Amino acid sequence: TPGAPHTILGQPDSLFVLFFTEMWERFSYYGMRALLVLYLISETSKGGWGWSREDATNLYGWYTMLVYFTPILGGYIADRILGTRRSVVLGGFVIAAGHIALFFDTQTTFFVGLGLVIIGTGLFKPNISAIVGQLYDKDNEGARDGGYTLFYMGVNAGAFFGISLCGYIGEKISWHFGFGLAAVFMILGALQFWLSQGIFGKIGGPPDKNAPLVDPTEKLDDTPAHVVRDRLIAICVFSFFTIFFWFAFEQAGGSMTIFAADYTDRTLVGTSGTVFKIVNSLMTLIPVGILSWLLIQLMRGGGKRYLSANLLLVAALAGIWGLSLWMLGREFAMEQSEIPATWFGVLNSFFLVILAPMFSKMWERHWNPSGPVKFGVGLVLLGLGFAALSYGATGIPQGAKTAQISMMFLTVAYLLHTMGELCLSPVGLSYISKLAPARLLGLMFGVWFVNSAIANKIAGSTGAYIDRISETYSMSIFFLIFTIIPIAAGILLMLLSPWMKKLMHGVH
Ligand code: GLN
């Protein structure tokens, strides 16, 4: 090829197309998800469906399970028929159609919408994660981990703005405008990806039609069959351990919404209100600033290669700027303010966007243990987050209907959970891309997400019974269980590290 590939911040510029595409998709996913339970349980007079918390959480559990289950099908379809890129385009537009359906106010369109998001995510999520890895060849391995960390920042930038903006608009203006906002940004994201495809060249194209169906004894990628088999086992072990992580992680989110629901009843006035408003504005302005900076880097570093897509990007980010400022202005103008129930959900993605570059530096320069050790540390940190919650909940009597944990403990728990997530989730994506043979790449990302599906379903089921659980057990003991389980799983995985290293055959 004439000249070296375009790079920005040491990464191929095509990574930023993936960054923003995934950002808008996660914007729509997390934005809508933040509203789902609140919408279903809110009274019909307030535009909701008046469901019980138990029913709503159950539907939420099914939904979040299916969204992470279909990637195994979508990954396979990409490997066999469509290729990763066309799957992402198709998936993106199907998701957008789903969010458009959710905008309308009928039962039928609601369920059709959920179904479309589930199908679209199956095509989109594993394959966009796979394309990230396809950008790096063997001589460029060093950048891969950093690339996945940046990509994961995109995931969480999307989650941050999705939860805050869709959450705010949905809760305070109208549920359907909240859902509609998710649709608008998903459409922009899918268009932006579609228009900038030229930047990928041959990467992510359709697979070789004549390639035989997968045969485990067959040589893939010129790698001996036993090495391929061992590495596939390693992928399954990594993925399996994520069940413990995502189960507890999602459970924390669920229980915290309950505490947060209580905070919404506490009107913030006077000093605490002002302090909250200032913290809230800083929290919004920092990610907005980081994104704008990234966009400028992108424009300066060869972004002209996909100008039309850039125009969409600028428009979309201007939309984010505008909406964020409008949201903050509205909050400041109000005589008194309440913490919206969705506010706690954004803490995790906020911390992630801030901490990701530091973790990336740490792995590069200071401490870079093997994958199983990182995963183990991640699980232990998650457990420690629950220890903070357990301690914070000691004063809450068993069966208390309204429970309050100091915001301090909730914040510390989210901080530890996010640190754990950074040891496990972007690291895991990078390992899948290194361990999976090229012809099974989409499918293996599907395997990775299927374990999240299992975890989400279990979390949804325990979440549905949280009221009953809190009547029978004290919350402190409940959280203690979630302290012990991930820590035990983490230690087990660290002990398995020498075996895992053998299975990976030299992949670091
Ligand atoms: N926050 C991650 C994402 O949405 C979690 C994915 C998962 O595996 N559960 O990409």
Number of Cα atoms under 13 Å in the Cβ half of residue 104: 13
**Pocket of ligand 1 contains residue 257 by CB under 6 Å:** no
Other CB atoms within 10 Å distance of the CB of residue 318: 11
Residue 245's pLDDT is: 96
**Of the residues 23, 422, 425, 444, which should be mutated to test ligand 1's pocket, given the most ligand atoms within 8 Å of the CB?**
425
Give this prediction's pTM. Answer: 0.92
What percent of the chain shows pLDDT beyond 70?
Answer: 89
428 CA closest ligand 1 atom index: 8
**Pocket of ligand 1 contains residue 245 by CB under 6 Å:** no
Identify the three-state secondary structure at position 11.
Answer: strand
Question: What's the CA gap between 160 and 306, in Å, rounded?
Answer: 26
Question: What's the CA gap between 33 and 43, in Å, rounded?
Answer: 18
Residue found under tokens 């990806």: 193
Chain CA centroid to CA 387, Å: 24
**Of the residues 155, 243, 431, which should be mutated to test ligand 1's pocket, given the most ligand atoms within 8 Å of the CB?**
155
* ipTM of predicted complex: 0.97
The first and second tokens of residue 228, run together, are 């391929």
| pLDDT 10s digits, 132-178 | 999 988 767 778 888 999 999 999 999 999 999 998 899 889 999 99
**Pocket of ligand 1 contains residue 452 by CB under 6 Å:** yes
Question: What's the CA gap between 150 and 357, in Å, rounded?
Answer: 8
Split at pLDDT 50, 70, 90, the class of 1 is very low
Residue 257's pLDDT is: 64
Residue 242's pLDDT is: 97
Identify the three-state secondary structure at position 220.
Answer: strand
Residue 408's pLDDT is: 81
| pLDDT 10s digits, 462-502 | 877 777 777 777 888 888 999 999 999 999 999 999 999 99
**For residue 57, which of 82, 40, 70, 77 has the smallest C-alpha distance?**
40
Query: Do residues 424 and 375 make contact, with C-beta atoms less than 8 angstroms apart?
Result: yes
Question: What's the CA gap between 132 and 20, in Å, rounded?
Answer: 12
**Pocket of ligand 1 contains residue 155 by CB under 6 Å:** yes
Chain CA centroid to CA 171, Å: 22
Residue 364's pLDDT is: 82
Residue found under tokens 């920005």: 8
Residue closest by Cα to atom 10 of ligand 1: 155
| pLDDT 10s digits, 38-93 | 899 999 988 899 999 889 989 999 999 999 999 999 999 999 999 999 999 999 99
Residue 276's pLDDT is: 78
The mean pLDDT value for 109-136 works out to 96
> What are the distances in angstroms from CA 414 to CA 87, 263, 350, 408?
34, 17, 10, 10
The first and second tokens of residue 439, run together, are 């012809």
Query: Do residues 191 and 101 make contact, with C-beta atoms less than 8 angstroms apart?
Result: no
**For residue 463, which of 452, 478, 453 has the smallest C-alpha distance?**
478
Mean pLDDT of the chain: 87
Q: For residue 222, is it left (φ>0), alpha (ψ between -120 and 50) or beta?
A: left
451 CA closest ligand 1 atom index: 8
What is the radius of gyration, based on Cα positions, of the chain?
Answer: 22
User: Could you tell me the end-to-end alpha-carbon distance of the chain, in angstroms, rounded to an integer?
Assistant: 29
Residue found under tokens 């403990």: 409
Distance 45 CA to ligand 1 centre (A): 34
> Per-residue pLDDT for 377 more than 50?
yes
| pLDDT 10s digits, 354-371 | 999 999 888 888 888 999
**DSSP per-residue string spanning 257-289:** HHHHHHHHHS-B-HHHHHHHHHHHHHHHHHHHH
Residue found under tokens 């923003």: 20
Distance 451 CA to ligand 1 centre (A): 11
Identify the three-state secondary structure at position 337.
Answer: strand
Chain CA centroid to CA 427, Å: 14
What percent of the chain shows pLDDT beyond 90?
Answer: 56
Residue 65's pLDDT is: 96
Spell out the residues 6+ positions from residue 189 whose beta carbon is closer than 8 angstroms to its own: 20, 21, 23, 24, 25, 27, 28, 92, 316
> Per-residue pLDDT for 218 more than 50?
no
Split at pLDDT 50, 70, 90, the class of 216 is very low
Residue 309's pLDDT is: 78
Question: What's the CA gap between 214 and 194, in Å, rounded?
Answer: 30
Distance 394 CA to ligand 1 centre (A): 31
> Per-residue pLDDT for 417 more than 60?
yes
Distance 212 CA to ligand 1 centre (A): 32
If one compares 261 and 452, the residue with the highest pLDDT of the two is 452
Highest mean pLDDT (candidates 16-20, 22-26, 101-105, 214-218): 22-26
> Per-residue pLDDT for 219 more than 70?
no
| pLDDT 10s digits, 242-271 | 999 999 998 887 776 666 555 555 556 667
30 CA closest ligand 1 atom index: 4
If one compares 378 and 2, the residue with the highest pLDDT of the two is 378
Of 168-177, 250-259, 273-282, 445-454, the one with minimum mean pLDDT is: 250-259
What single DSSP character describes residue 162? I
| pLDDT 10s digits, 311-346 | 888 888 899 999 999 988 888 887 666 666 667 778
If one compares 44 and 3, the residue with the highest pLDDT of the two is 44
